[in-house]
Structure 1
Amino acid sequence: MTLDIEPAEPRSRSDQIAQILEDQILTGRFSPGTRLDEASLAEEHKVSRTPIREAFHRLAQSGLVVQQPRRGVFVRISSPVEILEMFEVMAELEAVCGRLAAKRATEAAIEELREVNAECHAACDAGDIDRYYLKNGVFHHLIYALSGNRFLEQEASRLHRRLKPYRRMQLFLRGRLQQSMDEHEAIVEAISAGTPERAAELLRDHVAVQGEKFHHVMSHLEQQG
């Protein structure tokens, strides 16, 4: 099976810089409307301009920046309402993926899902949020692929990329890492048991709570500001 997933490791320098910039945008170092200077960022991160441009491209995919011809790259943070609306759609897309995966996944594919989930478990036990976040991405993309619907897989992957920084942010809330892991375990068992509606319900709730948790993160950041 060919999966449309991003490799969990190793990450390129541009990926690392993109993650750093994501955090800095979401935590207020760069406010909405700020122009990101390619030259100064290249100097700050001790790289050429190429990884910075690649990082900008990744940020644009997540909707965190807009690239304006002949003007530059500017910070754009979606409104809380827009983000929650995207999470609502993502929850429904993942629910459909889970429902179809529970109907169509082979035993070999389910074993692969268990192996990926075990890697998530190891990261959770180690308290390694960054590693969990990367393995979690592999877990979700695998479920998209197991749906057996290529169009659905592509649409779910596209919105997943758009929500990446927000999905990562909510993992830093106290207790959320273990909660997410517990949700993973139930999802794997539902798909393995071939219970489509249960798998759909679990995935819908798993993503919906991510939107709720992200809202809590942003409220906390606003209070600090």
Structure 2
Amino acid sequence: MRGERTPRLREALEDDIVSGRLRPGQRLDEVGLAARFGVSRTPIREALIQLSASGLIEIRPRRGAFVVLLGPRELLESFELMEELEVACARLAAQRMGDADRAALASAHAACGAALAGGDVPTYYSANAAFHAAIHAATGNRVIHGEASRLQRALQPYNRLQLDVPRRLEASFAEHEAIMAALCEGDGVGAAERMRAHVQVQGERFMALLAALQAQAEASSASAL
């Protein structure tokens, strides 16, 4: 039961960090969080450890946990690195994926489709992460798999905000279709090109992400008044 609570607590705290309800540099009080969520300090501590692994918070010895939030430059640079890792993963996966990898990819894609049909953004978000994780695993390269997975976790809250942009879910699903087709055909070049178009967060898309961050922060401030 406790293990089931930890992911939900982590996601709730991720939302608080990205929306501005928890501010950069703010100390996270385990006792206060436990009271807020009606749980013991143990699942709170586990959620904080997971957030620390993703880079959203920093746990300082004998001082506690503090929020870290990327600024515009760091955010853009992180997405640029994620883009290169995802492209490399797509290219390698197209060359190396086996039947089990294809099955995992198809399962995640089907879950994305079901969530899209039901207008279920949170479920689509989880299925989208599973889709990309299946590609990372299919590379057969433990180093690039680990690095891609680590950065994916760090950028999860921002990726979730991107899916809130109008019509983004439909576009994302169509892009997944194209990527999966290239992967299943063993087309490494095509898979890499389609993946780059899918994950590239620059120009208007990056400004839309910053606008979404600002809107969430303003909404949080207004609700606190």
Over aligned residue pairs, what C-alpha RMSD do you find?
1.9
Question: Stretches of 4+ moved more than 3 A in 1?
Answer: 209-215
Matching residue within 174, 177, 181 for 2:169: 177
Cross-structure match for 1:208: 200
Deviating more after overlay: 40-49 vs 208-217: 208-217
With normalisation by structure 2, the TM-score equals 0.88
Give the superposition deviation at 1:116.
2.0
Partner of 1:40: 32
In structure 1, what is the equivalent of residue 132 of structure 2?
Answer: 140
- Once residues 156 and 203 of structure 2 are traced to their aligned partners in structure 1, the CA distance between those partners, rounded to angstroms, is 12
The 2-side partners of 1:214 and 1:35 are apart by 28
Is 1:156 the counterpart of 2:175? The answer is no
Give yes or no for the alignment of 1:70 onto 2:62: yes
Residue type of the partner of 1:101? Answer: A
Judging changes above 3 Å, is the alpha-carbon distance between structure 1 residues 220 and 172 closer, same or farther for their aligned structure 2 residues? closer
Residues 221 and 153 from structure 1, CA distance in 2 versus in 1: closer, same or farther, beyond 3 angstroms? closer
Q: Counterpart of 2:131 in structure 1: which amino acid?
A: F
- Distance in structure 2 (CA, Å) of the matches to 1:138 and 1:220: 24
Residue 118 (structure 1) aligned with residue 110 (structure 2): yes
Unaligned runs of 5+ in 2: 219-225
Q: Does 1:186 align with 2:170?
A: no
What are the Cα deviations for residues 66-102 of structure 1, in whole angstroms up to 9, with x where unaligned? 1111111111111111111111111111111111111
Is the CA contact 1:91–1:205 (under 8 Å) kept in the aligned structure 2? no
Q: Do structure 1's residue 19 and structure 2's residue 11 form an aligned pair?
A: yes
Q: Provide TM-score, normalisation by structure 1.
A: 0.88
**Residue segments in structure 1 that go unaligned for 5+ positions in a row:** 1-10
Sequence identity of aligned pairs in percent? 47
Partner-residue secondary structure (3-state), 1:209: coil
Residues 1:30 and 2:22 aligned together: yes
Counterpart position of 2:223: none
Q: Are the structure 2 counterparts of residues 209 and 181 from structure 1 closer, same or farther at C-alpha, using a change threshold of 3 Å?
A: farther
Alignment: residue pair count: 215
2:79 paired with 1:84: no
CA distance in 2, matches of 1:221, 1:99: 32
Name the CA distance, whole Å, in 1 between partners of 2:86 and 2:115. Answer: 23
Q: Give distance in 2, aligned partners of 1:63 and 1:186.
A: 31
Deviation of 1:213 (Å) = 3.7
The CA distance in 2 between the partners of 1:203 and 1:210, in whole Å, is: 14
Is this contact kept in 1: 2:59–2:65, CA < 8 A?
A: yes
Distance 1:135 1:212 in 2: 25
